[in-house]
Structure 1
Amino acid sequence: MYPRTLTQTLLTVSAAFPVLMVTGPRQVGKTTLLEMCARDTPRNYVTLDDLDARALAQSDPALFLQTWQTPVIIDEIQYAPQLFSAIKMQVDRDKSNGQFWLTGSQKFHLMRGITETLAGRVAIVDLLGLSQAELQGRADTSKPFVPTPEWIAYARQQAQPQSLSDVFGRIWLGSYPRLNAQGAQARDIFYRSYIQTYIQRDVQDVLKISDQTAFNRFLTAVAARTGQLLNYASLARAVDIDNKTAKAWLSVLETSGLVYLLQPYHSNLTKRLVKAPKLYFLDTGLAAYLTRWPDAPSLEAGAMSGAMLETWAVSEIIKSYWHNGQEAPLYFYRDTDQQEVDLLVDSAIALYPVEIKKTASPSHNAKRHFTILDKLGKPVGPGAVLCFVERDMPLSRDVTALPLGYL
């Protein structure tokens, strides 16, 4: 079992709310994490993947809650939204915190029931696959990424050196805990089963897709576009479906936690922003499997290496926020003159620009677009170029080259 950064946040949140909900893709370790958190205070456990338990939860929620009494972990609760009203009644009678720990893999089933029924009673946190910090045993010291001098000094003390082959090996393998425990020899079998067992089943539950072959082509087309601006028309043409279908299918992937849409930064002072979001797969191993890269060296040398590196870095930064129980205040900038900044971290006081480069010798040109942010009407803080330098080094008074190992 890998220690997870989210552990302390879960315990803190559970002490303040009667209901805790952990969402995220299947197989990222939600149940394992809750079981690890429950070691000192044992809890009942039930999963609604069990058809008998699911049938009882759907037909008689009150009896279900008498059968599995609090404190309790209820796994895959999206299969029985009928439970939300019964849980509300119970926590309204008993005001104590930490009664229910819930997990769910399908936000499209969960969020409506939660917001309508358990508003004010539930804390919702997101879990993704293993972060680099968690894989390296730095789970307890991981902090949300922001390229300030204070964060850089802290990261310098904690980080472990990461070579080009180390990073691309991690990109190719992916971040699922079970796969990292089994090793690279299990990769193809794991991802093939993952697509057949989880993705297709979850999508089938929601969209009732009859043409699984077309959906598999769609998955591959989305993976091939990771790190790019989202173009629904191009995506639909590649799979021979209409735009409406492409939007519906991508929406399911997004709400399942498989893809992330990074939004452009908007400002009233500029009207030239490109409004399409950028598309990122949240697990690079799954994206690499779908796009048929047979091993890490071929991926590193291939045409998608830059996009995959950017995808991995963005997902690591997202994890640094989500696994600390925080929203990820991340955007990108691109205007009609094709001037682009890969990532903007929007804090309360400033915008922090970030470029992601596959180089060990970043030039001063790597930060050339940072100056365009001055017209956005918000203070611009220190910038960063994430790359393969061995240690942090200044590129200018306001921009630092940072090793990817700092993430």
Structure 2
Amino acid sequence: MFTRKTMTSLKRWKQYKTTQALLVDGARQVGKTTLIEQFAHDNYDHVVEINLYENDEAREALSSATNSKDLFLRISAFAGTTMIPGKTLIFLDEVQECPQIITMIKFLMQRNDYDYILSGSMLGVEPKNIRSQPVGYLMTTTMYPMDFEEFAWANGIGTDVIDTVREAFNTCTPVDEFIHRRLLQLFHQYLICGGMPDAVHTFIETNDIQRTRAVQEGIVDLYRQDISKYAGDRARIVRRIFDLIPAELNDQNKRFVIRDVEGQSRINRYDNDFMWLSDANVALPTYNVSEPRYPLAMSMTSTKFKLFMADTGLLTYACGMDVVRDILIGRSDINYGSIYENVVAQELKAHNNPLYYYKSRTIGELDFLVEHDNVIVPIEVKSGKDYKRHSALNNALRTDNWHINEAIVFYDGNVEQEGKLLYLPIYMVGCLQGKQRAL
């Protein structure tokens, strides 16, 4: 089993909870079930696990429960193991198949005799947004695909190496050249493999790109099936948008063009369809702001956005084998801008950074913007040799009323600083969480 950061959230819930159940949501195939099963094995004497997607009989029984007392009776009937108060975890998996369980959890928790973990996908697409219910009795955590640090752990990179990288980030000093080359090579593999645990496992165990891509193909097919199942009468448009993401990112503009969906240009006709993909945790919208000043949320423009894939490996899969081959041989004459930007979006999101960008005719485009201590830090992502060509960053730094003190360029090289411009290895994106050094 892979080491996952979400395990910390599960341990924290068990340590500090009072009357709260835990809800773990996230996209399909990100490893929720495996992680919860491992946590349950390590922390409880008895575990009741009911999968409401695979067990038709249990799903029907729990769905027809009339009240919390009736629901608990039916859970106990399908337990299949001894239930001892204070020593038993009840794990209800794929709860999107029986969402009323979430609304009843308050009354089950009031019994104060068993711990409950719920897990599911597609929870954000429910009309009533069941993740927000019931207040005070449900803690939630979202699980994402494996970030690069988790991928590095899975490939045998120790915490001492990661600590060395963080220290280089905090002190703005170059990473040891041997470590830098190894992590850069691994990062390029991460671009191909992505962070879906089944794909990562196949990649590590077989070293076979074709088998890894077969796993990715299965995940993409599953996502398309989920759209058909859960998106209702919007399924055709949602699926069309999902299929368009790679092409839109490869476009020079990169911003999603609404007319490409069905020849229409009114975004309000499709805003719910775009949000469906975001709420299902399979796509990452990155919103334009009218001005890169704190707080960014105040100047967000909801009708202008880029739409990234939640997992970069799935994007690379969609781009075809030629791109995979070029990444593997390290062709420096190829611009992988869309893939590099996607992985930065994925890393920023996994480390709790809201996704924003800025673009204007006078300044140019700032690929990403992050907030730190009420200060805005613009980011440009470079995949080629021209990493020192960044007119938009230069223009932003020269705009006095924005008060931007530092700008970051993520690229394939080592740590380097020129005045207010900081060049960082692309694998350092995850260090932006909990940034320790002053900007």
Does TM-score exceed 0.5, indicating one fold? yes
Q: How many residues align?
A: 389
Q: Answer whether contact 2:227 2:238 (CA < 8 A) is retained.
A: no
Per-residue Cα deviation, 1:101-140 (whole angstroms, up to 9, x for no partner): 121110213962232x311222221111111111111697
Partner SS, residue 226 of structure 1? helix
Q: CA deviation at 1:332?
A: 1.6
What amino acid is the match of 2:242? Answer: L
Which one of 376, 392, 397 corresponds to residue 415 of structure 2?
392
Bigger mean CA deviation after superposition, 367-376 or 160-169? 160-169
Which residue of the partner structure matches residue 316 of structure 1?
Answer: 347
Task: Decide which moves more: 355-364 or 339-348.
Answer: 355-364
2:397 to 351, 363, 371: 371
1:64 is aligned to: 74
Question: Could you tell me how far 1:10 is from its partner in structure 2?
Answer: 2.3
Q: Aligned equivalents of 2:159 and 2:142: distance in 1?
A: 17
User: Structure 1 residue 310: deviation in Å?
Assistant: 1.1
| Pairing partner for 1:405 from 427, 432, 438 | 427
The one of 226, 232, 236 equivalent to 1:202 is 226
How far apart are residue 210 of structure 1 and its match? 9.3
- Is 1:262 aligned to 2:286, yes or no? yes
Residues 146 and 336 of structure 1, relative CA distance in 2, 3 Å threshold: farther
Matched letter for residue 347 of structure 1: H
Q: Which residue matches 1:324?
A: none
Alpha-carbon distance between aligned partners in 2 of 1:53 and 1:365, rounded to the nearest angstrom: 58
Q: Structure 1 pair 393/232, CA: closer, same or farther in 2 (3 Å)?
A: same
1:392 is displaced (CA, Å) by 0.7
Aligned partner of 1:44 among 25, 43, 48: 48
The 5 A counterparts of 1:12-31 are: 12-17=12-17, 18-31=20-33
1:181-200 alignment runs, 5 A limit: 181-183=201-203, 184-196=209-221, 198-200=222-224
What pairs up with 1:6-405 in 2 under 5 angstroms? 6-17=6-17, 18-42=20-44, 43-49=47-53, 50-60=55-65, 61-67=71-77, 68=79, 70-94=88-112, 99-106=115-122, 107-109=124-126, 112-115=129-132, 117-137=133-153, 150=170, 161-162=181-182, 166-183=186-203, 184-196=209-221, 198-208=222-232, 217-226=240-249, 228-237=254-263, 246-265=270-289, 276-298=304-326, 305-319=336-350, 321=351, 327-337=352-362, 339-359=364-384, 362-363=387-388, 365=390, 367-371=393-397, 374-376=400-402, 379-389=403-413, 391-396=414-419, 398-405=420-427
User: Aligned partners of 2:265, 2:291: CA distance in 1, in Å?
Assistant: 34
Q: Larger deviation: 125-134 or 146-155? A: 146-155
Decide whether aligned partners of structure 1 residues 118 and 279 sit closer, same or farther in structure 2, where only a CA change above 3 A counts.
Answer: same
Residues 383 and 399, structure 1, Cα contact 8 Å, conserved in 2: yes
**Whole-Å separation in 1 of the counterparts to 2:106 and 2:145:** 30
Distance 1:140 1:336, change over 3 A: same
Counterpart-to-counterpart distance in 2, 1:303 and 1:236: 31
Q: What secondary structure sits across from 1:21 in the alignment? A: strand
Distance 1:58 1:272 in 2: 43
Identity %: 18
Letter in 1 for 2:50: V
CA–CA separation in structure 2 for the residues paired with 1:30 and 1:154: 36
Query: CA 1:355/1:283 → structure 2, altered by over 3 Å: closer, same or farther?
Result: same
Structure with larger Rg: 2
Displacement after TM superposition at 1:373 (Å): 5.8
CA distance in 2, matches of 1:338, 1:365: 11
Q: Is this contact kept in 2: 1:386–1:403, CA < 8 A?
A: yes
Please list every run of 5 or more consecutive structure 1 residues that lacks an aligned counterpart in the other structure. Answer: 322-326
CA distance 1:375–1:12, change in 2 (3 Å): same
What code does the residue aligned with 1:203 have?
Answer: I
Q: d(CA) in 2 for partners of 1:74 and 1:47?
A: 6
The CA distance in 2 between the partners of 1:86 and 1:151, in whole Å, is 50
Instruction: Tell me, yes or no, if the aligned pair for 1:273 and 1:336 is still in contact at 8 Å.
Output: no
Deviations 1:280-333 (A, max 9, x none): 1111222233343445134676977211111112212222x1xxxxx3234222
Secondary structure at the counterpart of residue 281 of structure 2: coil
Kindly provide the CA deviation profile for residues 192-219 of structure 1, in whole angstroms up to 9, marking residues without a partner as x: 32233x213321222335986x766543
Higher relative contact order (CA 8 A, sep 6+): 1
Give the aligned CA root-mean-square deviation in angstroms.
Answer: 3.8
**Is the 1:174–1:283 contact (alpha carbons within 8 Å) kept by the matching residues of 2?**
yes
Q: Distance in 2 between matches of 1:110 and 1:158?
A: 51
Paired AA for residue 33 in structure 1: L
Change (3 A) 1:226 1:10: farther
Deviations 1:150-205 (A, max 9, x none): 37569889975357664343222222111111122213322332233x21332122
1:264 alignment partner, SS class? strand
